[in-house]
Amino acid sequence: MSKKIYLYDTTLRDGTQGEQVSLSAEDKLRIATRLDSYGFHYIEGGWPGSNPKDARFFEMAKRTSFRNSKITAFGSTRRPETSPEKDANVNALIRTETEVVTIFGKSWDLHASRILGISLEENCRMINDTVAYLKNEGREVIYDAEHFFDGYKLNSSYAMDTIQAAVDGGADMVVLCDTNGGTMPWEIEKIMSELMPQIPVPVGIHTHDDCGLAVANSLAAVGAGAVMVQGTINGYGERCGNADLISLIGNLQLKMGYECLDEEKVRHLTELSRFVSEVANIPPVNDRPFVGKSAFAHKGGVHVSAIMKEPAAYEHIDPGLVGNRRRVLVSDLSGKSNIEYKTRELGIKLGGNGYTSRKIVEEIKRLEDQGYRFEAAEGSLELLVKKVTGQFEEPFKLESLRVSIEKNQSGPSTCQATIKISVGDDYEITAAEGDGPVNALDNALRKALTKFYPEIQEMGLVDFKVRVIDGSHGTAAKVRVQIESRDSKEIWATVGVSENIIEASWQALVDSVQYKLSKSLNGKSEGKKGINMGKVKENEANAAGQRETRDPRPMLNG
């Protein structure tokens, strides 16, 4: 039977100390209930003695039923020369009524003598008194030994005295903290191997990522006997962050054979990572291990050729084990294998002689040399492949368009677009206003096409990005515009490139509309529903953070 490792999540406390992370009490409750549904063992809700927001979270938590997780209140030892009964922060911990309380104390003599300005003996008494008081109140007490590894390396005897003070007070578990994030994995392993026989209670590990080693240090600690890992979802935290619990779960359960969560819950780690990203209003990191969008993305032709034969050739696990998926990117580095894999994924048939694949590769390389990027614009890629293979019929043609911008001193600029399109033998001329020139174009195009294709009304804009490809030409530089659109079934991205931002935007807009119409006109929406909805779940999670951080309309000012 595999050994159990307890997961202690501190996203709601330590994670919020990250520079870009800010969670309301309601946000914290949303994340806590999601973590509980996954079966996390401990959820640290915050420091109730430090701010009203955390105190309010604990009040809401009292009225919430948690089935799997123990909600934990966090705080410090009593103040010097003050009894726990009279310490305001300690009493705030009691008022939370949580089953578990975690307190931290100083294990490094430098902090006791030079930072707190107290004797080493008083520091130990503070630890012992506080733990004992909380135990007498009927709480499970976890003691976090702050700066333990730095303290142990400089004065191992005193560092162990502080641990003994917590144990004597009745601590249920001792957590050794690499608070500065500067300890090496072999140091963790060596120190823990020395001290584990001396600690009579279970031991946990809490690491920070200042050297990029938080996950490695946590794994080393588990290998040396730790039974609990503390960390945050996505590694959020102060400075360079905390140990990423997502990566820890992936490594511990899938690589090292430990039991952290139910297997079915591990299959939803990608969803959990993106959910927390969305609530925290931080865009997901594409290259995050295990759950990032790029974690199982293949771009080089040699790689793609190999995974078509045997995925293990370039993938350390099956991406489905963590709820992720394999992606084949198409770019100027692509070979025939990329195209054949991608077209099979898109449901597009190619000729069997390889000529069509080579033709597509050549066209992609030609366009990417001009600045196009198709790896993040699969809508445009699908249209390109269909056009090259003769499987696309244009649903409309542009006859002419005009965009005007009027600006006066007293108010904002106004934008208007006039457009003439043809659908078969019919013509439509219309005009529309918008918050910016591209928004006006979008409105005019939709207005003109709705008469012929009512399904256009289902579309909506998700995101709009502009990137200068080469800034050496200043305002005349070529730009790449990427647009993300959606309907009730999926989200898709399209791309345009030009020295004129209106032209680049128009290209991306037209591709977006043509992609939508190609699905409805060819009757492929239902046939590809399973594939598309898989993309939707991923793209919606990725786009959610973008939607909250960006209002597309101002960016459409061009």
Give the model confidence (pLDDT) of 11-39 as tens digits. Answer: 999 999 999 899 999 999 999 999 999 99
**497 — pLDDT class (breaks 50, 70, 90):** very high
| Burial (CB count <10 Å: 0-12, 13-18, 19+), residue 547 | middle
Can you tell me the distance from the alpha carbon of 188 to that of 199, in angstroms, rounded to the nearest whole number?
16
Which of 294, 282, 163 lies closest to 232 in space, CA to CA? 282
Instruction: Please list the residue range(s) of the chain that carry CATH number 3.30.160.270.
Output: 397-555
Task: Compute the C-alpha angle 37/41/45, nearest 5°.
Answer: 85
Under a CB-based contact definition with an 8 Å cutoff, are residues 237 and 15 in contact? Answer: yes
Q: Is the pLDDT reported for residue 523 higher than 60?
A: no
Q: Where in the chain is the domain with CATH 3.20.20.70?
A: 6-261
Q: How confident is the model at residue 205 (pLDDT cuts 50, 70, 90)?
A: very high
pTM, two decimals, is 0.69
Residues 6+ apart with CB under 8 A from 412: none
CB of 265 within 8 A of CB of 42? no
CA distances from 217 to 230, 424, 439 (A): 12, 66, 50
Q: What angle do CA 14, 90, 162 make, to 5 degrees?
A: 75
Q: Considering only the top CATH level, what class is 397-555?
A: alpha beta
Q: Specify the DSSP class assigned to residue 539.
A: H
- Over range 346-356, report the average pLDDT: 70
Confidence of residue 362 (pLDDT cuts 50, 70, 90): confident
Quote the CA–CA distance of 31 and 546 in Å, as a whole number.
19
Q: How far apart are CA 202 and CA 199, in angstroms?
A: 8
Could you give the percent of the chain with pLDDT greater than 70?
89
Closest to 217 in 3D by CA, of 241, 238, 239, 198? 241
Judge residue 128's burial from the number of C-beta atoms within 10 Å of its C-beta, 0-12 exposed, 13-18 middle, 19 or more buried. buried
**In degrees, to the nearest 5, what angle opens at C-alpha 556 toward C-alphas 550 and 558?**
120
CA–CA distance, 494 with 464 (Å, rounded to integer): 10
Read off the pLDDT band of 336 (50, 70, 90). low
Fold of 6-261: TIM Barrel (3.20.20)
- 229 pLDDT more than 80: yes
Q: What is the CA radius of gyration of the chain?
A: 29
